[in-house]
A and B are shown apart, each in its own frame.
Chain A
Amino acid sequence: MNALPLELTALAPLWFVVAGALTLLLLEVLFHEAGRRAAPLATLTFLLLALGSDFRLLSLQGMPGALFQGSVVIDLYSVTLQAICALSASLTVLFSSSYLKREKAVTGEYYALILLATAGMMVLVSAGEFLTLFVGLELMSIAGYILAGYFRNKERSAEAALKYFLTGVFSSAFLLYGIAVLYGVSGTTHFSELRLFIEKGLPALPGAASQMVFIYLGAALLVVGLGFKVALAPFHGWAPDVYDGAAAPVSGFLSTGVKAAAFGIFARLFAEVFSMPGPWVAALATLAVLTMTLGNLSALAQTNLKRMLAYSSVAHAGYVAVGLAAATGSPADVVERAVAFYLLAYTLMTAGVFGWIAWASGEGEKNSNFSDYQGLAYRHPGMGLALAVFLFSLAGMTPMAGFFGKYFLFKLAVDNGLVWLAVVAVLNSFVSAYYYLRAAMQLYVRTDKEAKAGLKPISWGLFTAFFICVLGSLIAGFLKFPF
């Protein structure tokens, strides 16, 4: 048998997800009610096939590298991020299935949209060129806008969709302008050629100084565009509202998969293309400090678990930005490993915590205040412990995945002479520990009030998802990372 062409096999995860999305769209049309019931299982099958082909790629001796004339790069980093995105989507499907049943909103297109967004993420993290980056980002974002407004009859959900949409397109325009400026200066849209242009071409050319200004301008516009997507302060205004207003499993998906993919390519750009000293180091460090501090201080004031997590998710974007600011001095693979590990740890604990809210808050997510959870751990010891594990991991307690994630990023900053930045980040971690532990404590408060939250029993799908998240948050730091 002839070997399949490399373009086909190396992108197998993407093909599986796209095929899944198209199948899901047909499933409901062809089989009506039966197709609707089979949708979660079918989605999971395709996602597991994608995950399986990611693991097969990771086990290969040599990675395919650049494909399609360099438009797509399949290396250890992009395959690892593809796997993280597929993991995030799988967890979302497991959490959504019982959530949608409870809210009486089961449709086939919900799962098709999740798969389409996942396809966009896979294109985005594998991009080796700006047009591919843009198309992947938009595929991911457009599916995300619809998912945010999935409960279109609820005002909160529709408002979340509006805010997500307006800021999303606004930021895309800035990103695109950045791409245009970089293309205008260098005449290329490929990351590798742009890097060569910045490195070698510039000093020799006449008028080099003025051209460098345009490189800086392009990079700044890229930071604004991607900064909106990953919710770096001061571009984070939409994030708390959207994560608060969207359905809990969708918020989980938007704050793990979508954010992981956007940060994935953000890190690749600044570790591989703009990896020389420049004004972006100071800019990213400032953004990191602003994001961490604003996110954590706002989270302190919240009394609603979902909104607190929305702000905590902003703060976590700041921690990754610490790693990005330190990207100039380190080898690209060190930066990318630290970012990828953090995104994996963050995906496991954040998906878990939003899934937990989806389960516990009851119909219409009415009970998501701290006071509603009081004494929950005595009725559901396992679930109480699960939330405690997620919150401890988010706070960065020692043996958990969240600790190792932060450790690698902050170490990067220290190694590159940004000690002050690492100190600020650690201080921020202390602040965040206060509100995470306060939330965890509520579970173990004895109360006489009537129990409101966490009344539903746990289905097998939910159990599996929580098990993966808890186990992952506990042991991810001790596993051998792919690269």
Chain B
Amino acid sequence: MDILFPITPTHYLALSAILFGIGTAGVLSRKNIFVSLMSLELMLNAVNLSFITFARIHGDLTGQVIVLFVVAVAAAEACVGLAIVIALFRLKENVNVDLFNELKD
């Protein structure tokens, strides 16, 4: 794509920040638990993109290794998250976050 303009590490960092922002907005605004879970995954993967870019800039493998750990941890988190969704669905036959409001002042 260097006919138009060269893609530099800065572009990747900007993309990562934008994806993180989209993920944050998704978690904060959406009522469906599945959308929230996907937004959380998006946030973690946005950070992964940052790590890889920084690893590339520094010529250092640490960032790449961290990404492998984050992917593994995200998988474990998704697994627990889906288990919680199943437990909630069995209680109310619905996965809207707003329906679970028994705990409040």
Q: A residues near B, CB below 8 A? A: 130-131, 134-135, 138, 142, 145-146, 149, 152-153, 155-156, 158-163, 165-166, 169-170, 172-173, 176-177, 179-181, 183-184, 187-189, 240-241, 244-245, 298, 301-302, 307
Contact = CB atoms under 8 A, between A and B. Distances in A.
Contacts of A142: 76-77, 80
A162 B20 contact: no
B10 to A, nearest CB: 11
Given A177-B20, A187-B60, A241 B84 contact: no
B50 A180 contact: yes
Contacts of A156: 102-103
Contacts of B104: 241
B43 A170 contact: yes
In this complex, the member of B23, B69, B87 whose beta carbon has the largest number of chain A beta carbons within 10 angstroms is: B87
9 contacts: A134-B73, A145-B84, A158-B84, A158-B87, A159-B101, A159-B102, A162-B84, A180-B63, A184-B13
A173 B44 contact: yes
Nearest to B36: A166
B2 to A, nearest CB: 24
A162 B80 contact: no
Contacts, number: 118
B66 to A, nearest CB: 5
Contact of B100 (A146, A159, A301): A159
A107 to B, nearest CB: 15
B100 to A, nearest CB: 4
Given A177-B20, A301-B105, A149 B76 contact: no
B87 A149 contact: yes
A307 B103 CA distance: 10
Contacts of B50: 177, 180-181, 184
A173 B20 contact: yes
Nearest to A164: B84
Interface string B58-77: 10101101100110010011
Contact of A177 (B47, B53, B80, B92): B47
Interface of B: 13, 20, 23-24, 27, 33, 36, 40, 43-44, 46-47, 50-51, 53-54, 57-58, 60, 62-63, 65-66, 69-70, 73, 76-77, 80-81, 83-84, 87-88, 90-92, 97, 100-105
Nearest to B9: A184
Given A166-B97, A180-B63, A187-B58, 12 more contacts: A134-B66, A142-B77, A152-B87, A153-B90, A155-B102, A159-B102, A159-B103, A169-B81, A177-B43, A180-B54, A187-B60, A240-B105
B66 A138 contact: no
A180 B105 contact: no
A189 B66 contact: yes
Contact of B51 (A161, A172, A180): A180
Contacts of B102: 155-156, 159, 245
Contacts of B60: 187
Given A155-B102, A241-B103, A162 B97 contact: yes
Contacts of A160: 103
- A-B pairs, top 6 by smallest CB distance, nearest first, are A173-B43, A184-B54, A241-B103, A152-B87, A180-B50, A159-B100
B88 A183 contact: no
A298 B20 contact: no
Nearest to B52: A180
Contacts of B105: 240, 298, 301-302, 307
Nearest to A246: B103
A88 to B, nearest CB: 22
A103 B40 CA distance: 34
A152 B90 CA distance: 9
B40 A162 contact: no
Contacts of B51: 180, 183
A165 B36 CA distance: 11
Contact of B57 (A170, A184, A302): A184
Given A135-B69, A184-B57, A158 B27 contact: no
A296 B46 CA distance: 37
A320 B69 CA distance: 31
Contacts of A302: 105
A374 to B, nearest CB: 23
A315 to B, nearest CB: 15
A163 B84 CA distance: 10
Contacts of A131: 62, 65-66, 69
Contacts of B76: 138, 142
Contacts of B87: 149, 152, 158, 161
A256 to B, nearest CB: 20
A173 B40 contact: yes
A250 B76 CA distance: 21
A214 to B, nearest CB: 11
A162 B62 contact: no
B73 A162 contact: no
A162 B57 contact: no
B91 A155 contact: yes
Nearest to A187: B58
B72 to A, nearest CB: 9
A302 to B, nearest CB: 8
B14 to A, nearest CB: 13
